[in-house]
Structures are given as structure tokens and as C-alpha cells.
Amino acid sequence: MPNVTLAGIGKLSAKAARSRNTGPLTTRVTEIYQQLWRDAARVFVLATAEAMAVDTGMSVASLRPLAAQFRIKNILVAQFSGFGPKFHGYNYEGKGGGNSTLNERHDGAKGHKSMRRGEQMGGEGKAYKISFGSKSRLLMTFTFRAVVYQHILWDIRKWNSLEAGKAAMQLYLDKNINKAEYNVVPLIARWFSGGNI
């Protein structure tokens, strides 16, 4: 590919740029940034799960729907199997022995702690929202909130898993944004110079 600078690209006539179909270029640029966002969300899930301790697995299981969306659900198996860090915690009354199997839900009802309940509580729209934008508006968003009581409780007291996930995601984006841009700039240059995408 000829060496094309951004300044040289800007000198092309607006008429020549308007006469070309931007669809393939827009699609490819969108795919590159969406892949970066997917990979960063994967890093969030893994870092968050790694910072959690496992008792019944309900808190970690709340990450399973998000992990399934990124095809990393099986990576969390070690956490569900109880190989995560162990700790002696406190039950909900602040007394020793954190192995209570009851979970106080947001509505005050009680139910048994289980991975199945954690997974049900962690579904899209309940625990997380993620958007990859569109070709016309490349605005990507990601929100995760703890919905399992013991996740909220232990995250504040000891785990700090959501902050660990957020920091890992930000670090991944910081390290890899240049790689994405490195792939995008030549595509744009090739498109402006009349080449195929």
C-alpha cells in the first residue's frame, strides 16, 4: 500500500469522497471497535469473577449470562467449583459463619442461595446492559450492577470486585485502543485512495 498521510487524505476532493459508497468502510470500522468493546467486557467479567470468593457460587453465577454473551461461560467453571479464594465471613446479622444458605432479596423475601438463582438474577436488563452502537452511531455503553445481596455486601466489605473489573477493563482499553486505530487508519486511507476495503 502506498504511504498515504492523513494530510494527503484531506486534500482529496469532497466530490470524489461523496461519490464512493461508504458502506463497506463504515461496516469494517464498526466491527473493529465493536470487537475491542467485546474483548474489554470479557476482561471485566473475568477480573470481577477472580476477585470474588465462592461460598454457594450465587454471586459469581450472576456473571454467567454476561459471560455467555461473550462465549466465556466455561472459563468461570473453576469459580463455580469452589476453587476461588476462601474466606471466613459473617452472616447477614454480622455474626461469624458466613455459610448461611438464605439470601435476603431486594423485596424482603427470602430464598435459598444457589448458582441457578444467581444466574437468573444476573440476566440482561437486570444486572447488566451493554450496547455496541450501530454503523450510524458508534456509541458503546456498558453498565453492570451487583444484584445479588451477598455480592453487594461482600464487595463493599472485602472483595472490591466491581472496581477490579472496571480497572481491568479500562487498562485493556488503554492498551488496545491504539491497535484498533492502527487497523482503522489504513482502511480509511485505502478507501480514500480508491482501494477496496
Q: What is the reported pLDDT for 17?
A: 52
Q: Are 151 and 54 in contact (CB under 8 A)?
A: no
Q: Provide the b/e sequence for 141-151 (b: ≥16 CB within 10 Å).
A: ebebebbbbbb
Q: What is the reported pLDDT for 56?
A: 67
pLDDT by residue for the chain (197 residues), tens only, comes to 444 444 444 444 444 455 567 788 888 889 999 999 999 999 999 999 989 887 768 888 899 999 988 888 777 765 555 454 444 444 444 444 444 444 444 444 455 677 888 888 988 888 999 999 888 888 899 999 999 988 999 898 889 999 999 999 999 999 999 888 878 888 888 887 877 77
| 9, 12, 18, 22: CA torsion to nearest 10 | -20
Q: What is the reported pLDDT for 8?
A: 42
Q: How far apart are CA 74 and CA 55, in angstroms?
A: 19
Q: How far apart are CA 108 and CA 116, in angstroms?
A: 19
Task: Show me where the domains of the chain are located.
Answer: 19-84+99-191
Q: How far apart are CA 29 and CA 188, in angstroms?
A: 9
